[in-house]
A and B are shown apart, each in its own frame.
Chain A
Amino acid sequence: MAQENGKRRLAMIASKGTLDWAYPPFILGSAAASMDWEVAIFFTFYGLPLLKKKLDAAVSPVGNPAMPMKMPFGPKAFQKINWPIPNLLMANLPGFESVATSLMKQTFKNKGVPSIEQLREACVDLDVRMIGCQMTMDVFGFTKEEFIDECEIGGAATFLEYAADADVTLFI
């Protein structure tokens, strides 16, 4: 199925705001828009801060047992080691989350993965529609001024109306 204008349509909900979960909506959004699809992303609950002008997405290995803990430096064999760090230690070690976040950012950078900022910028350039959830703004106390200018604000009905005619719909 395609839209009246002949384009396919992708509708996504971004509901998570950690660094690892920030990637999928922006990767898929920019890739789909690059394939000439129409794309909209609805940012809700913990996903809403991904619209903030200054992104501060972090990653937490706590309660994230499948997350590999790897070092972004040293010889290749060293980089491949998956460091077994117990959750109990991670939860109680001050600053562990920021260490994990910078390790992940450095690993991604070394491998040629773009930053969230770059991917979001690509989405903006490619006319991906970004909709901030009004209800979440009210609940968490965000204002429109905190978000990038290119986003719009809407509710569940706004998303559903768009998604009703989508070829692909994803909840992330």
Chain B
Amino acid sequence: MDVKADKVLDCTGLLCPMPVVKTKKAMNDLEVGQVLEMIATDPGSIPDMEAWAKQTQHELLVAEELDGGKFRFLIRKTH
């Protein structure tokens, strides 16, 4: 999906629960409708981000594994 991110958050090298904690904080700085791109290396980050999006009701547009053990997420702030 080709969506332009309004802000990029680097969570590489961080383990649970920091990607989720930092994502939450980064979302606070966005306006409704804006998109955050988050990059993580935590192997548990895909299920964690899916759960996080379900609970916070923000829209998880992309959750994908990249080369080199990285994971990329695009999240749209909905409220």
To the question of whether A and B form a pair in one complex, the answer is: yes
Q: In the complex, what distance in Å separates the CA atom of A37 from the CA atom of B21?
A: 12
Q: Is the CB of B18 within 8 A of A35?
A: no
Which single member of B14, B21, B25, B56 contacts A36 (CB below 8 Å)?
B56
Q: How many residues belonging to A are interface residues under a CB distance threshold of 8 Å?
A: 18
Distance of B40 from chain A, by nearest CB (Å):
10
For A27, list chain B residues within 8 Å (CB). Answer: 16-17
* A-contact bits for B38-71, CB 8 A (1 contact / 0 none): 0001100000000110011000000000000000
The total of interchain contacts (Cβ-Cβ below 8 angstroms) comes to: 44
For B24, list chain A residues within 8 Å (CB). Answer: 33-36, 126
For A28, list chain B residues within 8 Å (CB). Answer: 17
In the complex, A30 has a CB within 8 A of chain B: yes
For A114, list chain B residues within 8 Å (CB). Answer: 14-15, 18
Which single member of A8, A34, A112 contacts B21 (CB below 8 Å)?
A34
Q: Is the CB of A31 within 8 A of B20?
A: yes
Q: Is the CB of A36 within 8 A of B15?
A: no
Q: How many residues belonging to B are interface residues under a CB distance threshold of 8 Å?
A: 17
In the complex, A111 has a CB within 8 A of chain B: yes
Q: In the complex, what distance in Å separates the CA atom of A113 from the CA atom of B13?
A: 9
In the complex, A125 has a CB within 8 A of chain B: yes
Q: In the complex, what distance in Å separates the CA atom of A126 from the CA atom of B52?
A: 15
Q: In the complex, what distance in Å separates the CA atom of A125 from the CA atom of B25?
A: 9
**Who on chain B is nearest to A36 by CB?**
B56
* B-contact bits for A94-112, CB 8 A (1 contact / 0 none): 0000000000000000011
A-B contacts, 19 of them at CB < 8 A, read: A27-B16, A28-B17, A30-B17, A31-B17, A31-B20, A31-B21, A34-B23, A34-B24, A35-B24, A35-B51, A35-B52, A35-B56, A36-B55, A112-B13, A112-B18, A113-B15, A122-B21, A125-B25, A126-B24
